[in-house]
Structures are given as C-alpha cells and as structure tokens.
C-alpha cells in the first residue's frame, strides 16, 4: 500500500495487565507502570528511544512530580533530548495522545511519537487542606475522587450523575447487568488471544502479573442482581455493571508514512481522523455517540461503514446509551469485552481501546473501526482507524 509521507500510522503498542484496585500492581507507582510499558515497547522497537516527542496521558497526577510523561519516559530509557508532554483530558487523555501525535505529523513537526498513558488508582494520594483552612471539621480528600471520579462541574460523583441520566434515558438495571455479563463473557473468551498480542508479562522481584485481574467468567445475571446500588438507594449502577478501578499503563508508537517506509515495517493501522465533542451538559452517556456522529460526518461515512466499535464501558449504561443512539448491534461493539471486565486505569484506557481495536481488525481482516470514550465534565472523543494489512 502506497502511503503519503505525512499520514499518521499506529505502528505498535503494548499494555500492562490491568490490576484490580489495591491488587497485584498496587505496590507500583503510576510512574513505574508507565516506565514499564514504555520499556516493553522499546524492547520491540529499539529505534524508539529517540522519537520526536513523548505524549502520555495521566489523570491522577497529584504528587507524581513535574511532567509525569517525561519522568516515566526518561526512566524507561527515552533520550533526555526528547521533549515530553503530559496530557489530561480525564479518560480521553491517552486517546488524545494519538490525535496529538497525528496532528504534529500532519503539520510536519515530526515523524515519530511515543504515545499512551498510565495511572495507579491504588496509589492516589490523600490531599490535606492548607493549614489556614483546617478546622476540626476539615478532612483529607482523595486525589482519586477530585482528579478522577468526581465531576468538578456538577459537584456530584460521576456515578451519581450517571444514575440520574439512567432514569432519564430509561436504562434499566437489567439492561446494565445484561451488558456486564456480556462484557465478562467476551473478555474471558478472548483472554488468551489478548494476552498473546496486547499484554506483556510483568515479572519483577515482588510483582508477577500476566493477565487482567478483573475478568470474572463465572459472572451471572442472577449474581449481579444481588449487588446493592453503588450510589444510593434506588440507583441502578453497581460495582458489577461499572468499570473497575484499576492500575495499569499502555504505550505505543505513532509514525508518519515517511518514517514507516524508512523502517520497512508493517503498521497496525492508519489513523484516519477523529471527532471531539463537549457538552451541552456534564453527562457521559451520549458523548461517545456524539463524537462518532461528528467523526462520520467529517469523513463522509455512515454508521454501517464501520466494521467494529470500541466504546469504553465507564458504566454499562454509557455503552448501552451510545449504541442505542447510533443503532449499533452489540455484535460489533466491544467484541472482546470492555472495562467492566478488564478494568479502567483512567490514563491508560483510551490507548488500550485503540490498540484492542487495531489488533482485532487485523485478526478479522476487517477494514474500519472506531474507538471512543466519554470523559469527566461531559466530553467525548472518537478515533477512526483503517487496517493497513488488507
């Protein structure tokens, strides 16, 4: 396939296994996880130690130090002369890193970028108010909530906000539990192929992980129905039909057509275009659908022109609402399961979606796919890729 010099391609990518909150990866900092993912990519692509830039998403940044992307990159062996930037668009962050790399390539700024993201939800620090604001009633706050799980615009947790929208959209508890069972079953069925193509084994002195911790093949609709609402009486969101709090990292390389020809390597996918939306409110449910519609309009395509979709399962109801809005069959959405089973380490998930999608398009000999997710504050991002191996 002939390629244009300033087209952008996803060349390669890997991720850590995703660990449960306070689970097998909890002894590793977010910076450790990020560095390990970068090291794994560099082991396959040694030339990547000198990219034109590092663009990594991190959501819970409190206490990590200046520019966490640069810290993790340098620790992993990226050249000190390589500029780095940390992106934070909440859950969109690591998918946005791919878009930013593609923008820079298209503008002629560079030919190769290390992308991805990382977060340790287990290691999120507690925030102490300044001394002059402290009183007997003052309490520490979790950076996990303030930076990641609480909607700063609505003042509610994203779970509380989403429970309200579930009622408005008529998404039932049974709908959500059924989606969650499907996610778990698909992830369990795909576990071996995902481990072989997408994950790298972590084998350290005190940490050994080779698979995602959150997959529960024994999940049943009856078992999920017994769980209590997570965000107040009368709610329909539970721990079983929500994404799992997790620790993990993902990393990959986005390169220009010019660089791809120099490398003489096949790419996983061509990055065609993307759509970014916000508002008109802070809700999450329909933001993936809105982003997809904007993207399809830009590209002159229809919903039916896309072979596979990855919609992040922040909550089951997000994937349900956006799928319904677009008229998507569940058979083309999250075919290997989603964040309900795999976990959702905030800064790592966006790139994970794109990597999962690119690999599955290649396995199935399909042409086009879209990866999309919602983000706190009411934003959505969708990225269209094409299989380079057809």
- Tens digits of residue pLDDT in 298-349: 999 999 999 999 999 999 999 999 999 999 999 999 999 999 999 999 999 9
Q: What angle do CA 139, 144, 148 make, to 5 degrees?
A: 125
Residue 270 phi, psi (nearest 5): -95, 135
Sign of CA dihedral 126, 378, 57, 315: positive
Q: What is the pLDDT of residues 252-304, one digit of tens each?
A: 999 999 999 999 999 999 999 999 999 999 999 999 999 999 999 999 999 99
pLDDT exceeds 70 at position 377: yes
For the segment 82-96, what is each residue's pLDDT rounded down to a tens digit? 999 999 999 999 999
Task: Tell me the three state secondary structure of residue 14.
Answer: strand
Question: The whole model's pTM is what?
Answer: 0.96
Distance, in Å, from the CA atom of 252 to the CA atom of 269, rounded to the nearest integer, reads: 12
pLDDT band at 77 (very low <50, low <70, confident <90, very high): very high
| High-pLDDT (> 90) share of the chain, % | 93
The three-class DSSP label of residue 85 is: strand
Any idea which residues carry the catalytic annotation?
A: 91, 344, 374
* pLDDT in the model for residue 322: 98
Residue 129 confidence (pLDDT): 83
CA distances (Å), 348 to each of 114, 263, 342, in order? Answer: 13, 27, 12
As a whole-number percent, the residues of the chain with pLDDT over 70 amount to: 98
Nearest to 112 by CA among 287, 265, 331, 306: 265
d(CA 387, CA 365): 8
Q: Does residue 1 surpass a pLDDT of 60?
A: no
Give the C-alpha distances (Å, rounded to integers) separating 121 from 62, 94, 100, 174, 265: 11, 16, 25, 28, 36
Cβ atoms of 12 and 252 within 8 Å: the answer is yes
Q: Is 299 helix (H, G, I), strand (E, B) or coil?
A: helix
What are 161-210's pLDDT values in tens digits?
999 999 999 999 999 999 999 999 999 999 999 999 999 999 999 999 99
Cβ-count burial 41-72 (b if 16+ within 10 Å, e if not): bbeebeebeebbbbbbbbbbbeebeebbbbbb
The pLDDT assigned to 2 comes to 64
User: Could you tell me how far CA 42 lies from the centroid of its own chain?
Assistant: 21
Model confidence band, residue 120 (pLDDT cutoffs 50, 70, 90): very high
**Average pLDDT of span 4-29:** 96
Entry field: residues in the chain: 390
* Residue 375 reports pLDDT greater than 80: yes
Q: What Rg do the C-alpha atoms of the chain give, in angstroms? A: 20
Using CA atoms, how far apart are residues 229 and 281, in angstroms rounded to an integer?
24
d(CA 25, CA 16) in angstroms, rounded, equals 10
- For residue 137, pLDDT over 60 is answered with no
Select from 179, 155, 153 the least CA-distant residue to 166: 179
Helix, strand, or coil here: 278? strand
Answer whether residue 158 shows pLDDT above 60. yes
Q: Distance between CA atoms of 246 and 122, rounded to whole angstroms?
A: 7
Q: Are 380 and 290 in contact (CB under 8 A)?
A: yes
Q: What is the mean pLDDT of the chain?
A: 96
Residue 136 has a CB neighbour count (10 Å cut-off) of 4
For residue 135, what pLDDT band results from cuts at 50, 70 and 90? low
**Which neighbouring-strand residues pair with 14?**
251
Answer yes or no: is pLDDT of 139 > 90: no
Q: Are 214 and 244 in contact (CB under 8 A)?
A: yes
Report residue 285 as tokens: 């449910």
Reduced to 3 states (helix: H, G, I; strand: E, B; else coil), residue 304 is helix
Residue 130 has a pLDDT of 79
| Confidence grade of residue 144 (pLDDT, cut at 50, 70, 90) | very high
Q: What does each C-alpha distance from 374 to 134, 140, 310, 318 come to in angstroms? A: 35, 28, 12, 8
């Amino acid at each position: 396939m002939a390629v244009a010099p300033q087209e952008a391609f996803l060349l390669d990518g890997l991720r850590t296994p995703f660990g449960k909150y306070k689970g097998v990866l909890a002894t590793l900092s977010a910076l450790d996880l990020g560095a390990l993912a970068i090291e794994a990519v560099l082991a396959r692509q040694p030339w990547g130690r000198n990219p034109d830039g590092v663009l990594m998403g991190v959501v819970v940044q409190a206490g990590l130090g200046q520019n966490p992307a640069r810290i993790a990159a340098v620790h992993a062996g990226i050249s000190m002369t390589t500029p780095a930037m940390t992106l934070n668009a909440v859950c969109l962050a690591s998918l946005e890193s791919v878009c930013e790399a593609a923008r820079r390539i298209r503008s002629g700024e560079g030919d190769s970028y290390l992308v991805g993201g990382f977060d340790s939800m287990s290691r999120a620090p507690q925030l102490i108010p300044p001394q002059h604001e402290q009183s007997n009633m003052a309490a520490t706050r979790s950076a996990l909530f303030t930076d990641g799980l609480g909607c700063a615009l609505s003042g509610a947790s994203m779970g509380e906000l989403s429970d309200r929208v579930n009622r408005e959209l008529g998404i039932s508890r049974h709908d959500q539990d059924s989606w969650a069972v499907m996610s778990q079953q698909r992830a369990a069925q795909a576990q071996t192929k995902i481990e072989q193509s997408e994950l790298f084994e972590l084998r350290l002195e005190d940490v050994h992980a080779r698979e995602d911790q959150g997959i529960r093949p024994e999940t049943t609709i009856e078992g999920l129905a017994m769980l209590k609402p997570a965000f107040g009486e009368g709610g329909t969101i539970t721990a079983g039909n929500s994404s799992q709090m997790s620790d993990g990292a993902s990393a990959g390389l986005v390169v220009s057509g010019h660089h791809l020809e120099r490398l003489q390597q096949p790419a996983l996918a061509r990055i065609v275009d993307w759509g970014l939306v916000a508002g008109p409110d802070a809700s999450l449910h329909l933001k993936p659908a809105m982003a997809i519609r904007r993207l399809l309009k830009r590209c002159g395509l229809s919903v039916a022109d896309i072979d596979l979709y990855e919609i992040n399962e922040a909550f089951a109801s997000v994937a349900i609402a956006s799928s319904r809005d677009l008229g998507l069959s569940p058979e083309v959405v999250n075919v290997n399961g989603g964040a309900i089973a795999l976990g959702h380490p905030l800064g790592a998930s966006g790139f994970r979606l794109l990597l999962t999608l690119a690999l599955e398009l290649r396995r199935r000999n399909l042409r086009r796919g879209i990866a999309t997710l919602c983000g706190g504050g009411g934003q959505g991002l969708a990225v269209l890729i094409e299989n380079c191996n057809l």
